Amino acid sequence: MKFIITESQLEKRILDYILSYPEFNNLEEFDCSTMDWGEGVWVEEICFMENNWDDPIISYFPYPSNKKEYEDNEVFLQELDYLPALKLNDETSSTLSKLFGDRWKKPFQEWFESKFGYKVKSFFD
């Protein structure tokens, strides 16, 4: 017997999974200050974790407020194309990818934007 699942049904299943994932129900937002991207480039990072002594489950990198400071840095300017961006910890990203391939990213992005109010352009692996 074959089952045909439409894209919207799959996205609903993915969203159901995200909503049932225990770690996502208790996330708190913390300012992780800045992250070193090398070559003296520091960018803002907002971490989402269950409490402030855990490793972040989700890291959010907004479009930088300090862009002018790094206009001559090619590494930084290339990364700007991807911001604002999300990075999930390796375990969470791996689990979602094993279950859903890359199809989890769009529903996750929509859930994240709705829950926290931050726009997302891409994901960092």
**Interval 70-122: pLDDT, tens:** 677 777 777 778 889 999 999 999 999 999 999 999 999 999 999 999 999 99
Domain tally for the chain? 1
- The answer to whether residue 20 sits within a structural domain is no
Polymer length in residues for the chain: 125
- The answer to whether residue 34 sits within a structural domain is yes
- The answer to whether residue 3 sits within a structural domain is no
- What range does the domain containing 97 cover? 29-123
Whether 27 and 58 have beta carbons less than 8 Å apart is answered as yes
- The answer to whether residue 47 sits within a structural domain is yes
- The answer to whether residue 74 sits within a structural domain is yes
pLDDT at 97: 94
- The answer to whether residue 119 sits within a structural domain is yes
pLDDT, one tens digit per residue, over 44-67 is 788 898 876 678 899 998 877 666
- The answer to whether residue 23 sits within a structural domain is no
Whether 106 and 120 have beta carbons less than 8 Å apart is answered as no
CA atoms of 101 and 69, how far apart (whole Å) = 38
> Taking CA 33 as the corner, what is the angle to CA 71 and CA 20, rounded to the nearest 5 degrees?
115
Provide the token pair at 33. 């200050």
Q: What is the pTM of this model?
A: 0.81
Strand partners, 47: 30, 59
- The answer to whether residue 98 sits within a structural domain is yes
